[in-house]
Amino acid sequence: MTISVSKFTRGASPAGARAGETSPLSSDSVSPGSFAEAKGVIASIDQIETWLAIAKAGDRFLYATRPFLPAGSQGALRMRTLAEQGLVYLVKKRSDLLPGEWCYYAERSTKSAREVRPLREPRHDVRTVPDDISAINVLLPILKKAARFGRPCPTDVQLAERAQLPRDAVQPAIDAMRTMNIIRVLPAKAPTLRLVEIVETGHKTGLVA
């Protein structure tokens, strides 16, 4: 399905917005008929680059409407890279039209593309995850083992190291498992910050002594 990338608006950048944080955007921030009404859509790299080439500071682009962003999505990865380079702010809000869905926005910053230095290439000993299912397949056994023996839930860094995944692939996979009712997650004290219950068995991870 072809989605026009010309549907964005111009406005002031959200105060203090950083990559990944939520921001209250009004329902008219994006033109009617754009990604907000297209469940499951994620903009392609070509669509993102087309928008970036013409966007001015404060322009917003709704690049995805989903319950969560797949870890292996090339469009989502490109947006995270642009945010790391300081070219966009990434914000999200609950969809007003689709229950349970998040609207993911990019807002163009004032930084010029000419000021950007290329980011370092990723380490070659960390494999690329094509989608959240691949991440779930390697993370779930680790969580099940910790829960079976009542051990503390590994941190994101520990999970990424044990599963040989990029660190930013961990949280989307955990969110996906929660959405699919594979696990339940409860808050806990540092350093784990969460208790995980395996729905199938009822086993739970433990607390740090």
What confidence tens digit (pLDDT) does each residue in 57-112 have? 999 999 988 888 876 778 888 898 899 899 999 998 888 888 878 889 999 999 98
Q: Of 120, 155, 179, at which residue does a domain stop?
A: 120
The DSSP code sequence of 106-156 is EEE-S--GGGPPPPPPPPTTSPPPSSHHHHHHHHHHHHHHHHHTTPBPPPH
Q: Of 94, 120, 146, at which residue does a domain stop?
A: 120
On the question of pLDDT at 169 being above 80, the answer is yes
Does residue 163 sit in the same domain as residue 65?
no
Highest mean pLDDT among 154-158, 165-169, 185-189 belongs to 154-158
Judge contact between 152 and 208, C-beta under 8 A. yes
Residue 206 lies in a domain: no
Judge contact between 81 and 119, C-beta under 8 A. yes
Domains held by the chain: number: 2
Residue 105 lies in a domain: yes
Residue 209 lies in a domain: no
For 41, the domain range is: 1-120
Residue 204 lies in a domain: no
